[in-house]
């Protein structure tokens, strides 16, 4: 039975969590990192940071797929659009800056760039335009990648191809742990991604880096419950994987979706904006599906251009070294209407979310 979402927003229960947090409060600064824009929205929209002890920080790492898409991939998309193809992608991608242009600017100059809600919608556009090449610029994590895999494996029309820029979360978590001056104490693992990959996917990370990893859902009490499990592990000196989102996430994930991913893609190294190359964190089309590889079809290569604008702290925010409020441009020179960096563009970007809802309310 689907739980009543409002039951998961019960303020009385939330205040009980606040009392629990004060009992679990660490006596040193603790940094909990999540990698999910929806978690950041839940935390900021509901003011959950105000319930946490002062010693506990919750930061968004590379949790916004739009924000981490490299200029190289974006420039490939722009070149493909320049060659006359219909370029389809998710709406948030349109305003992310490429080396010289964004897709929205290219569209304003006449490129045929269209917003879609799914890979399937792009295939539909290809069916309706048999005389045109149609390219799906595929971004997103393990949550959206199975949708791309499904259309690739379902005999798409000849005029359809994919510019694959999907990224994988577990290699990103490992990369964060290896970075200097990041000092992560625990991960709040993303519920959506975990429905696909399963909670067991984080065991190697918890064991290798000795950090608690707790999978969390997205209602306020889901997040508070997951944070309580993390704080309890830290207090007890444990570093384990726990699943605080059992109504959606299985240890093994979604087997069918994982099969689709394995059939359609192979893992490759991928460049993440603001972070650099993370080994084994990207997906490329496998075997004979390579005939649907837009990069091959159009013979385009992306060069890594300037990824971070002067003064923008996206590179620190994306690795959980800084909060949006640490950026001097936040809310002044940089707003959602005139974004300076990718973190203010994507609706799941930390700066965008903080601008809309505020960060850590002082109650
Ligand atoms: S507020 Fe704007 S300029 Fe500052 S880090 Fe965020 S996106 Fe970059």
Other Cβ atoms less than 10 A from the Cβ of 27: the count is 8
Q: Which pLDDT does position 360 carry in this prediction?
A: 62
Query: Are the beta carbons of 48 and 256 closer than 8 angstroms?
Result: no
Q: Quick one: which H or E segment has residue 143?
A: none
Among the residue ranges 29-33, 197-201, 259-263, 343-347, the one predicted with the least confidence is 343-347
Asked if residue 104 has its Cβ within 6 Å of ligand 1, the reply is: no
Residue 98: inside a domain: yes
Asked if residue 270 has its Cβ within 6 Å of ligand 1, the reply is: no
Mean per-residue pLDDT for 4-19?
82
Confidence class for position 2, pLDDT limits 50, 70, 90: low
Other Cβ atoms less than 10 A from the Cβ of 288: the count is 7
Asked if residue 351 has its Cβ within 6 Å of ligand 1, the reply is: yes
Q: Which pLDDT does position 269 carry in this prediction?
A: 97
Q: Which pLDDT does position 7 carry in this prediction?
A: 75
CA–CA dist 360, 44 (Å, integer) = 7
Residue 49: inside a domain: no
Nearest CA to ligand 1 atom 1: 330
Residue 135: inside a domain: yes
Q: Which pLDDT does position 303 carry in this prediction?
A: 75
Residue 233: inside a domain: no
Residue 276 is part of a domain; what is its CATH number? 3.40.50.11740
Residue 134: inside a domain: yes
pLDDT, tens digit, 9 for 90 and up, residues 191-235: 999 999 999 999 999 999 999 999 999 999 999 999 999 999 999
| Average pLDDT of every residue of the chain | 93
Query: Are the beta carbons of 302 and 76 closer than 8 angstroms?
Result: yes
Mean per-residue pLDDT for 287-302?
93
Other Cβ atoms less than 10 A from the Cβ of 33: the count is 25
The pTM of the whole model exceeds 0.85: yes
Q: Quick one: which H or E segment has residue 140?
A: strand 134-140
Domain count, the chain: 1
Residue 88: inside a domain: yes
Query: Are the beta carbons of 44 and 354 closer than 8 angstroms?
Result: yes
Buried b (16+ CB within 10 A) or exposed e, 116-127: bebbeebbbbbe
Give the atom of ligand 1 at the shortest distance from the alpha carbon of 339.
2
163, pLDDT greater than 70? yes
Asked if residue 343 has its Cβ within 6 Å of ligand 1, the reply is: yes
CA–CA dist 162, 172 (Å, integer) = 23
Residue 139: inside a domain: yes
Q: Which pLDDT does position 274 carry in this prediction?
A: 86
Residue 358: inside a domain: no
What domain range is 106 assigned to? 68-168+256-298
DSSP secondary structure code for residue 200 in this structure: G
């Amino acid at each position: 039975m689907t739980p009543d979402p409002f039951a998961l927003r019960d303020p009385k229960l939330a205040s009980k969590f606040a009392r629990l947090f004060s009992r679990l409060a660490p006596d040193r600064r603790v940094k909990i990192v999540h990698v999910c824009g929806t978690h950041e929205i839940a935390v900021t929209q509901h003011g959950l940071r105000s319930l946490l002890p002062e010693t506990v920080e919750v930061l968004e790492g590379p949790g916004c797929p739009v924000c981490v898409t490299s200029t190289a991939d974006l420039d490939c998309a722009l070149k493909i659009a320049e060659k006359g193809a219909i370029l389809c992608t998710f709406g948030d991608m349109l305003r992310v800056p490429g080396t010289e242009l964004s897709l929205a600017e290219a569209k304003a100059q006449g490129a045929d760039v269209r917003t879609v809600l799914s890979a399937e919608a792009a295939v539909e556009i290809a069916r309706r335009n048999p005389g045109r090449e149609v390219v799906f610029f595929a971004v997103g994590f393990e949550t959206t990648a199975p949708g791309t895999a499904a259309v690739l494996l379902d005999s798409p029309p000849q005029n359809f191809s994919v510019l694959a820029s999907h990224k994988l979360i577990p290699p990103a978590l490992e990369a964060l742990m290896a970075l200097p001056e990041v000092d992560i104490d625990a991960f709040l693992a993303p519920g959506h991604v975990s429905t696909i990959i399963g909670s067991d996917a984080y065991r190697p990370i918890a064991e290798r880096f000795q950090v608690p990893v707790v999978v969390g859902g997205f209602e306020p009490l889901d997040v508070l419950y997951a944070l309580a499990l993390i704080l309890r592990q830290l207090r007890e000196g444990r570093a384990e994987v726990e699943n605080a989102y059992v109504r959606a996430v299985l240890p093994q994930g979604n087997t069918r979706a994982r099969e689709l991913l394995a059939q359609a893609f192979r893992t490759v190294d991928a460049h993440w904006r603001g972070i650099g190359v993370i080994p084994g964190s990207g997906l490329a089309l496998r075997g004979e599906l390579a005939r649907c590889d837009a990069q091959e079809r159009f013979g385009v290569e992306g060069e890594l251009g300037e990824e971070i604008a002067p003064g923008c702290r996206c590179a620190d925010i994306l690795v959980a070294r800084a909060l949006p409020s640490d950026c001097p441009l936040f809310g002044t020179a940089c707003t959602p209407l005139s974004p300076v960096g990718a973190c203010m563009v994507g609706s799941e970007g930390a700066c965008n979310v903080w601008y809309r809802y505020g960060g850590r309310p002082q109650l």
